[in-house]
Amino acid sequence: SAVISQKPSRDICQRGTSLTIQCQVDSQVTMMFWYRQQPGQSLTLIATANQGSEATYESGFVIDKFPISRPNLTFSTLTVSNMSPEDSSIYLCSVQTRASYNEQFFGPGTRLTVL
Amino acid sequence: QKEVEQNSGPLSVPEGAIASLNCTYSDRVSQSFFWYRQYSGKSPELIMSIYSNGDKEDGRFTAQLNKASQYVSLLIRDSQPSDSATYLCAPRNRDDKIIFGKGTRLHILP
């Protein structure tokens, strides 16, 4: 499977600010996704990051709040904008590779706390 | 009806016994099914995938799939304390998205 890194691993932010999370993969991937896992909950898909074009967002998530970039096959960023305490969560990058075909693997996650 | 249903647990199993984790899903079109293990404070780790009806074995893990019943399970033989974690059932739905259940917390008793 691919080696996935995320930065930062955790952060504490003030209400109203924005945070950009980076996801880097050590090999070319076919698909990249961003998930959120709120405390005690399962994973919720935020969006699919598309290379060179706008991300595809799931119901309940919008570009203004969660802008996503994917400039190449191995890198993506997720920004959490105008944060509120409700955005406190773990944000996870996930990828599919050509070798893995149908399987998805997760990065280590970014733990965000908004005060 | 929830897309993926799992008993939240905790499921307590003595060390050395078989742990049985169950999952039902609502999308009849689903063809791919995954089990992830998540330790507290860590990200999910893929441990099994299954695509055909029947059993698939990998070491101490066996995944079982019954598409007619929309049921998938994970058996862990010779349970170890290191198996204590939350196990997430994750079918791929008709939109080609992997959807996660809330997970079953498994506790292996030494």
CB contacts, 8 Å: A92 with chain B: 43-44
Candidates B51, B88, B92; nearest CB to A42: B88
B35 contact A CB<8A? no
pLDDT tens-digit profile of B12-37? Answer: 999 999 999 999 999 888 889 999 99
Per-residue pLDDT at B93: 87
pLDDT confidence tier of residue A56, bands split at 50, 70 and 90: very high
B102 contact A CB<8A? yes
Please give the backbone phi and psi of residue A87, each rounded to the nearest 5 degrees, phi first.
-85, -5
Q: What is the 3-state secondary structure (H, E, C) of chain A?
A: CCCEEEECCEEEECCCCCEEEEEEECCCEEEEEEEEECCCCCEEEEEEECCCCCCEECCCCCCCCCCEEEEECCEEEEEECCCCHHHCEEEEEEEEECCCCCCCEECCCEEEEEC
pLDDT confidence tier of residue A67, bands split at 50, 70 and 90: very high
The percent of residues above 70 in pLDDT, for chain A, comes to 98
Candidates B34, B43, B98; nearest CB to A109: B43
DSSP secondary structure string, B32-99?
A: -EEEEEE-TTS--EEEEEE-SSEEEEETTEEEEEETTTTEEEEEESS--GGG-EEEEEEEB-TTS-B-
CB B49 within 8 A of CB B34: yes
pLDDT of A101 > 80? The answer is no
Integer Cα distance of A102 and B32 in angstroms: 8
Q: Which residues contact A21 (CB under 8 A, 6 or more apart)?
A: A6, A7, A8, A77, A78, A79, A80, A91, A93, A110, A112
CB B34 within 8 A of CB A103: yes
Find where tokens 């995320």 sit: A6
pLDDT of A48 > 70? The answer is yes
Q: Which residues contact A40 (CB under 8 A, 6 or more apart)?
A: none
Candidates B42, B49, B100; nearest CB to A43: B100
pLDDT tens-digit profile of B36-89? Answer: 999 999 999 999 999 999 999 999 999 999 999 999 999 999 999 999 999 999
pLDDT tens-digit profile of A9-21? Answer: 999 999 999 999 9
pLDDT confidence tier of residue B1, bands split at 50, 70 and 90: low
